[in-house]
Structure 1
Amino acid sequence: MNFEHTEDRRMLADSLNRFIAEQYAFDKRDRIARSAQGFSTEIWQQFAELGVIGALFSEADGGFGGAGFDVAVVFESLGRGLVVEPLLGAVMAGEAISAAGDDAQKAQLADIIGGTTIAAFAHDEPDAHYELARVQTRAERSGNGWVLQGAKAVVPQGEQADLFVVSARSSGAADSEAGISLFLVPAKTPGLSVRGCPAIDGGRVAELTLDGVTLGADALLGAEGQGHTTLERAIGRGVLALCAESLGAMEAAKTATLDYLRTRKQFGTLIGSFQALQHRMADLLLEIEQARSAVINAAAAIDADRLTRERALSAAKFSIGRIGTLVAEESIQMHGGIGMTWELPLAHYAKRLVMIDHQLGDEDHHLQRYIALGKQVAA
């Protein structure tokens, strides 16, 4: 199988990498990430104009990409630049709307692609422990509509979102796959409160409280109680995006570490000439190539049957979690004390690599999930 990118994807990667290098230098990124808003509206609009958001959506949805490798190309570039703009929310919320929405709901994709609507995916809950089906937020019928009651945690860029895709349980036990429904909730809906805080790796996250949020019948995304399949697809796209982002961050950390080994002298000798450091760096390069293979495998499987897709995604997330942490630790170690300083970009890459492991399921969670899915294949 040929895994080389198409000419269009290579052009997209080149233009996006060039834009980030020229317009998203580390000092500017640091100011954006620590700002009260948590991202730059100006940069977000420029991403829309460059077609970066559109590359995440299929032509049927108004974009010009949408395949697994399109998502991987975009997010690898974002990882290289530590970009904090809310593209992850666009990927997951957009996939849910595309997969389950009616024509009126899908019409909102145009505004997401155009950058005028910021969408966020609100599924995680305080006690969910990464379990996809564990949803305690309740959705009860009220006349022709719905009333939502519950809470969602760690929603990236939730404060600035215009539209949320929210999971809620309309029937069944708290950990049952059956009975989960998805809803489109505008940010200004009465009863919805959003409390934000800075994230350790830059940008902002938010907690959502839904206290008697009243929605019309048109807010239901897909069939009542049948949202688990859509939820799995949307989060699967998010997992692929995070894996590719981590790969980009690994590449940046690797490059910075190699440059340091080639220029830093100790006792009058370049430390890159020390055999012990050469061996550690060679091991790291091999691990990063293994991570790249895992991302390629996940991108190729994103539109395959469910078990093939989910096993590839969990395998990639497990690999990325383990290797990303290793890259963060080794890069810091080979830099020495300077590697921990705030002013050096490497420390921020290390934080992001570690935190990606904890988004949408850490390596332990995905290893167990991979094993469980393998048993289903065997059966």
Structure 2
Amino acid sequence: MLKLIQTEEEIMLQEAARGLLDRSAPVSRLRELRDANQTRDDALWQEMVDAGWAGILVPESAGGADMGHTAAHVLAREMGRTLAVSPFLSTAVMAATVLRRLDDPRCQAALAQIASGARTYAIAVDEGSKFNPERIELMAEKRGNGYVLKGEKRFVVDGGNADHVLVLAQSKDGPCLFDLPADRAGLRRNVSAMIDSRDAARLEFDDVAVSGDELLGAAGDGRALLRYGLEAGQAALAAESTGLAQAAFAITTEYLKERKQFGVTIASFQALQHRAAHLWCEIEMTTSAVLQAGRILDADPDAATLAVSVAKARAIDTAQLAAREGVQMHGGIGMTDAYDMGFYMKRARVAAEWLGDYGYHAAQVAQLRGF
């Protein structure tokens, strides 16, 4: 039976993470980055690397900590609390999960670079307006011992700042997954800042030459291989969204205890108490769903799809509810930039779309349940 409470080691990791992030990445830091039109925080990422977070899923043989997905979720949840800006999900979670599945010296070298902070990744999978890894129109044409890539990828989160990109493309042998330097000739990155002040890119591949050595696994296995990274990322993003909801709830309840109307604090109003209690219950259930997903990813990643989609769907709904309730219970000032609640709402909106929205994951759950 899976243990759905945190271990002592996970609690210690949480406390250490909270201390680092409260000190180096409070929400005020995100405000500074936004005002400076910056979508990366190199100093924070270096602190994370020094703390061993970049290697949280990297095997010890490659210089990592190899603490597992549940531990990675502890970190992601704390990052969600302060809305930290980092390549953690794309690099330390998704890319590391894919690379560690391959018994290849090149992958071991890449994992060592992830753990040391020498390399960051973005994941290029989306091509339409919605997440759909089954749709692959980016073509990989065989050329000698290598391939030539033609087409584009959209909504590549961290794509503007990453050193490398994992690219899913279609070949005559089936889906292929490539590990490419982001500065490869013919690869053009159109970068924009998202509403939550992180970067995303549209990648255009204009006859991009790749060698056979840059193919991960075998031709035709790309989608199946990337699936492990995507599900790891979906679960970690659910954890981040849960941390976001917890922080938004804490900020809101503190405001309810301070704000007065008619000579009393508005926390004494029964209608607001009911709304706060409902939100607390939703957060607790989502926290359990995320913990379940982490435990299954650690124990049996081949059987994790259902738990991951339940966690992601719940986290999407809960994070957006927490942000909406936060804005509304703050009243008119909740809509102003002077208060942080708007930052939580924007991050929740982006997290709701990245790696599959509520509809996508609800459909996954229904299918796996036989409906």
TM-score band, normalised by shorter chain:
over 0.9
Match of 2:198 in 1: 203
- C-alpha deviations, 1:242-269, integer Å up to 9, x for none? 0000010011001001100000001211
Aligned AA for 1:83?
A
Of 329, 344, 356, the match for 1:349: 344
Higher deviation after alignment, 303-312 or 69-78: 303-312
Aligned residues: 369
Task: Give the TM-score of the pair, scaled to structure 2.
Answer: 0.95
Aligned AA for 2:32?
R
Match of 1:258 in 2: 253
Aligned AA for 1:74?
L
Please list, as runs of the form range in 1=range in 2, the aligned pairs for 1:274-313 lying within 5 A after superposition: 274-305=269-300, 308-313=303-308
Aligned AA for 2:214?
A
Supply the distance in 1 between the matched residues of 2:348 and 2:109 (Cα, whole angstroms).
Answer: 35
Supply the distance in 1 between the matched residues of 2:339 and 2:66 (Cα, whole angstroms).
Answer: 35
Supply the distance in 2 between the matched residues of 1:287 and 1:60 (Cα, whole angstroms).
Answer: 40
Higher deviation after alignment, 54-63 or 314-323: 54-63
> Is the contact between residue 61 and residue 98 of structure 1 (CA under 8 Å) also seen in structure 2?
no
Match of 2:111 in 1: 109
How far residue 61 of structure 1 moved from its aligned partner, in angstroms, is 4.2
How far residue 307 of structure 1 moved from its aligned partner, in angstroms, is 6.5
Supply the distance in 2 between the matched residues of 1:308 and 1:221 (Cα, whole angstroms).
Answer: 23
> Is the contact between residue 71 and residue 240 of structure 1 (CA under 8 Å) also seen in structure 2?
no
Please give the secondary structure, in 1, of the residue aligned with 2:56: helix
- C-alpha deviations, 1:6-56, integer Å up to 9, x for none? 333322221211111112232222122454441111111111001111223
> Is the contact between residue 55 and residue 63 of structure 1 (CA under 8 Å) also seen in structure 2?
yes
How far residue 148 of structure 1 moved from its aligned partner, in angstroms, is 0.7
Supply the distance in 1 between the matched residues of 2:57 and 2:14 (Cα, whole angstroms).
Answer: 13
Higher deviation after alignment, 353-362 or 232-241: 353-362
> Is the contact between residue 34 and residue 202 of structure 1 (CA under 8 Å) also seen in structure 2?
no
- C-alpha deviations, 1:294-319, integer Å up to 9, x for none? 10111111145567310111111111
Match of 2:356 in 1: 361
Aligned AA for 1:327?
A
Please give the secondary structure, in 1, of the residue aligned with 2:369: helix
Decide whether aligned partners of structure 1 residues 9 and 61 sit closer, same or farther in structure 2, where only a CA change above 3 A counts.
Answer: farther
Supply the distance in 1 between the matched residues of 2:28 and 2:277 (Cα, whole angstroms).
Answer: 30
State whether structure 2 residue 185 is matched by structure 1 residue 185: no
Higher deviation after alignment, 245-254 or 51-60: 51-60
Please give the secondary structure, in 1, of the residue aligned with 2:230: helix
> Is the contact between residue 32 and residue 203 of structure 1 (CA under 8 Å) also seen in structure 2?
no
Supply the distance in 1 between the matched residues of 2:331 and 2:57 (Cα, whole angstroms).
Answer: 39
Please list, as runs of the form range in 1=range in 2, the aligned pairs for 1:1-379 lying within 5 A after superposition: 1-90=2-91, 91-100=93-102, 102-127=104-129, 129-171=130-172, 179-305=174-300, 308-375=303-370
Decide whether aligned partners of structure 1 residues 59 and 249 sit closer, same or farther in structure 2, where only a CA change above 3 A counts.
Answer: same
Please give the secondary structure, in 2, of the residue aligned with 1:188: coil
State, as a whole percentage, how many aligned pairs show the same letter.
Answer: 36
Supply the distance in 2 between the matched residues of 1:138 and 1:276 (Cα, whole angstroms).
Answer: 56
> Is the contact between residue 20 and residue 81 of structure 1 (CA under 8 Å) also seen in structure 2?
yes
Supply the distance in 1 between the matched residues of 2:318 and 2:9 (Cα, whole angstroms).
Answer: 29
> Is the contact between residue 58 and residue 67 of structure 1 (CA under 8 Å) also seen in structure 2?
no
Please give the secondary structure, in 1, of the residue aligned with 2:166: strand
Decide whether aligned partners of structure 1 residues 135 and 66 sit closer, same or farther in structure 2, where only a CA change above 3 A counts.
Answer: farther
Supply the distance in 2 between the matched residues of 1:214 and 1:133 (Cα, whole angstroms).
Answer: 24
Please give the secondary structure, in 2, of the residue aligned with 1:108: helix
Q: Give structure 2 stretches of 5+ with no counterpart.
A: none
Match of 1:175 in 2: none
Q: Give structure 1 stretches of 5+ with no counterpart.
A: 173-178
Please give the secondary structure, in 2, of the residue aligned with 1:15: helix
What root-mean-square deviation, in Å, do the aligned CA atoms of Structure 1 and Structure 2 show?
1.7
Decide whether aligned partners of structure 1 residues 193 and 66 sit closer, same or farther in structure 2, where only a CA change above 3 A counts.
Answer: farther
> Is the contact between residue 101 and residue 221 of structure 1 (CA under 8 Å) also seen in structure 2?
no
